[in-house]
Amino acid sequence: MKVTVVGAGAVGASCAEYIAIKNFASEVVLVDIKEGFAEGKAMDLMQTASLNGFDTKIVGSTNDYSKTANSDVAVITSGIPRKPGMTREELISTNAGIVNTVAENLIKHSPNVIIIVVSNPMDTMTYLTHKATGLAKNRIIGMGGALDSARFKYRLAEATDAPISDIDGMVIGGHSDTGMIPLTRLATRNSVPVSEFISEERMAEVKEATKVGGATLTKLLGTSAWYAPGAAVSAMVHAIANDSHKMFPCSCLLEGEYGLNDICIGVPALIGANGIEKIVEIDLNDTEKQELVNSAEAVRKTNGLL
């Protein structure tokens, strides 16, 4: 498998590192607009290969998309990151132009590529990629829900004082501080509802902490997070490489599912060799359905800024 990661900043480099360490890809190409930056990151990562025990080849390129030719999967992380106090939506004017150009260059050299979108505002950038490329809906995936669900599980494990491997939980909806819908009703600890272990008040705190998870890290770090986003992407690429049909909440183009049309928003999907193999429609209660409708309205408002 050949994987391209566009944007060699902290998120892109973390993507490349985690993919390489899992040792399932033959080659990872890092692309960046800054002269020598991707090449330097690739060299630095390659110098860890003997220490970390991987054989994946990592190469860098300064805006030369010919090196990405015949990629099976491409990850778009490029664009300006959030700063403290910024919303993801405030990035749209700059990042839309970047993502549009990147997507066109990727398709030119890899017409059969599956694209994973990380750039913010992620649901809108995923929608833009669909409109710009015209690719089949299964071949464009927004990463957000996988990351948001990992943050949810972290907060649930923290609240229950449980090993995180005991915890299962899912976040659907838009990848924004107000649009995320942590499904607290369905969260479990080894199949037992998490509500058996913590109070409603504590669960509400977990839900809110999950929704502002990105903003919390941005405030602490002074920029967007990178380790967890990189790990979320690598898990999705791994599922594609192994055709594992692993379920991730991710931003998918909906055409009637959940009663929504012509919108990219986070819902559970099975990920395999063809990208999105199936969108899974779970039974939501009335409150969750309304939260999803509200989240979709917010995403459409952001889409209108394109």
The Cβ of residue 114 has, within 10 Å, a number of other Cβ atoms equal to 25
Cα 42 off chain centre by: 22
For residue 151, what are its two tokens? 């943050």
For residue 69, what are its two tokens? 């030719």
Q: For strand 2-6 and strand 192-193, is the pairing parallel, antiparallel, or unpaired?
A: unpaired
Whole-angstrom CA distances from 255 to 12, 262, 264 are 30, 6, 9
| Alpha carbon distance 303, 297 (integer Å) | 10
Residue type at position 300: R
Cα 75 off chain centre by: 9
| Alpha carbon distance 44, 28 (integer Å) | 13
109 is catalytic: no
Q: Which of 109, 130, 175, 238 is catalytic?
A: 175
Kindly list the catalytic residues: 175
